[in-house]
A = this chain, B = another copy of it.
Amino acid sequence: MSFLPPKGMRDSPPKIKILREKVFEKIKTVFERFGFDPLETPIVEKWETLKGKYGDEAENRLIWRFQLPYSEKWFALRYDLTVPLARFYARFKPALPFKRYQIGRVYRYEDPQKGRYREFYQCDADIVGAKEPFADIEIIDMMCEVFKAFNFSEFTIKLNDRRILKGLFEDKLNVEPETMLKIFRIVDKLDKIGKEGVINELKETGLAEEKISYISEILEIAEFKNEEILEFLRKFENEEVKKGVELLEACLDYSKAKHHIKIDLSLVRGLDYYTGMIYEIVVEKPRIGSLSGGGRYDNLIGMFAREEVPAVGGSIGVERLIDAGLETGIFKIEKYTIVDAGVIPLSESVMKYAWEVASELRKSGINTLILYEPTTPVKGIKRLEKKKISYAVLIGEKEASSKTLTFQNLETRERKEYKFDEIEKLTKEIL
């Protein structure tokens, strides 16, 4: 019999769960500072709720959808947290702007590989019912604050606008939507494969020479500084491009993280979805790469309620953050256990007093374990050390009769006596 969870899914032993909780806690604190309220929706949704929302590939290969043996109904495990948000909005119609965050597991039947799981956490913050530009700027600012909270200092906010992409590429190239999608996917790889690489791949698609050289020009400009790119974009007469430029300008004007912003005309992201600003935050030191992305999507939230509801949001790649954080040493498995101290009773007769001591330690806020069977100091300490507990409290006949306890720091090996009445003092030593 196998003891493994399903492929692509993971158990989190205490040391990992402690770290994950710490990471989530940090993110939650920043989200709440920015006025986002917590929300929770079921893991299971009706299949009809998810159907038609994610495109063919997701529907035919990736969504965990199923029937039970007891029912004709189709269910699905949630694929992201955005469609459930849209359903929630339609159901409750909360006062706008509705700012919510949700940290929860989502399910995709991907081929598992390094950093890609079938069950993973998403960590989303969205603002429903707010037009550009301030809500957009707030999302960017907040995500930057999250990374600052994790002590990342060197990161870049790649910023672009869906309307600019449309004006620059779609309207000019005049190709089928499918071809356009292919082109965008190639352009999006600029960072990885360089300009030469992009041009080569574009040639392979059979795109006309003059169209490729047009794209090549744009990519040239994409390497310019922010102000130069804006200069170039301002020349466009296209109304949509103008709006995109205004958005970029507002971001560069108002964002508290403006010095991290780099306009990136090759940033594409999921195009079907976004209608305005799009961003990605790339951590450069350590070289972790993209840890957050998002943008404005003014057509999605209203699709259930059948009304127009502007929205903007961002997501933190929290699995990547944790995996890469552990690899690069930003996160360390420091705590193997939440237990602060272990009480070791040295004989059967002191058990009752040891029980009192444990209870008193707990009252003082110390996370306390007690060994259930009397043992020797050496054996008891060995057991605590095996569990990576830092402090031992030894209770023998002497301690029981004098109402004291022997407290030992298992790292320095230093021992001290404490009176039972003074247990609260221990709090300072330990916490």
Give the interface of A toward B (CB within 8 A): 1-6, 9-14, 16-18, 20-21, 32-46, 48-49, 61, 64-71, 73, 75, 77, 87-88, 90-92, 94-95, 97, 99-100, 105, 107, 109, 118-119, 130-131, 134-135, 138, 141, 145, 253-254, 256, 304, 337-339, 342, 351-352, 355, 359, 362, 365-370, 372-373, 383, 386-387
Whole-angstrom CA separation of A119 from B92 in the bound complex: 20
Whole-angstrom CA separation of A355 from B100 in the bound complex: 20
Whole-angstrom CA separation of A119 from B130 in the bound complex: 33
Q: Is B44 within 8 A of A9, CB to CB?
A: yes
Q: Which of B94, B253, B351 contacts A13 (CB 8 A)?
A: B94
Q: Is B70 within 8 A of A35, CB to CB?
A: no
Q: Is A39 within 8 A of B65, CB to CB?
A: no
Contacting residues, chain B, for A99 (C-beta < 8 A) = 369
Whole-angstrom CA separation of A41 from B16 in the bound complex: 11
Contacting residues, chain B, for A21 (C-beta < 8 A) = 38
18 further A-B contacts with Cβ under 8 Å, apart from A5-B42, A35-B367, A42-B119, are A1-B48, A5-B45, A6-B75, A12-B41, A13-B39, A18-B38, A33-B368, A35-B368, A37-B339, A43-B43, A44-B64, A61-B70, A65-B68, A65-B69, A66-B69, A131-B373, A135-B372, A138-B370
Q: Which of B67, B94, B367 contacts A33 (CB 8 A)?
A: B367
Whole-angstrom CA separation of A45 from B7 in the bound complex: 10
Nearest CB on B from A331, distance (A) = 16
